[in-house]
Amino acid sequence: MKIICIGRNYKLHAEELGHQVPTEPLFFLKPDSSVLTRKHAFYLPDWTDDVQYEVELVIKISKLGKGIQKKFASRYYSMVGLGIDFTARDVQSELKEKGHPWEKSKGFDGAAVVSHEFIPLNDLGGDIQKIKFELKKNEEVVQSGDSSDMIFSVDDLIVYLSNYMTLKTGDLIFTGTPSGVGPIKKGDLLTGTLEGNHMFDVRVR
Asked if 174 and 3 touch (Cβ cutoff 8 Å), the reply is: yes
Residue of minimal CB distance from Zn ion?
85
For the bound state, the minimum distance from the C-beta of residue 87 to Zn ion, rounded and expressed in Å, comes to 7
Please state the length of the chain: 205
Nearer to Zn ion, 56 or 155 (CB): 56
User: Is residue 61 within 8 Å of residue 118, measured between CB atoms?
Assistant: no
Min separation Cβ 55 and Zn ion, Å: 9
Nearer to Zn ion, 52 or 162 (CB): 52
Residues 6 or more apart whose Cβ sits within 8 Å of residue 177:
9, 10, 13, 54, 55, 56, 85, 143, 145
CB of 9 to Zn ion, least distance (A): 8
Question: Quick one: 29 or 41, whose CB is closer to Zn ion?
Answer: 29
For Zn ion, give the closer residue by CB, 85 or 155: 85
Q: Terminus-to-terminus CA distance in the chain, angstroms? A: 27
Task: Return residues touching Zn ion (CB under 5 A).
Answer: 54, 85, 177
Query: Which of 115, 177 has the CB closer to Zn ion?
Result: 177
Q: Where are the beta strands (DSSP E) in 18-139?
A: 26-30, 51-53, 55-61, 77-85, 87-88, 112-114, 119-120, 132-137
Q: In angstroms, give the least distance from the CB of 111 to Zn ion.
A: 10
Structural contact between residues 15 and 21, judged by C-beta atoms closer than 8 angstroms? yes
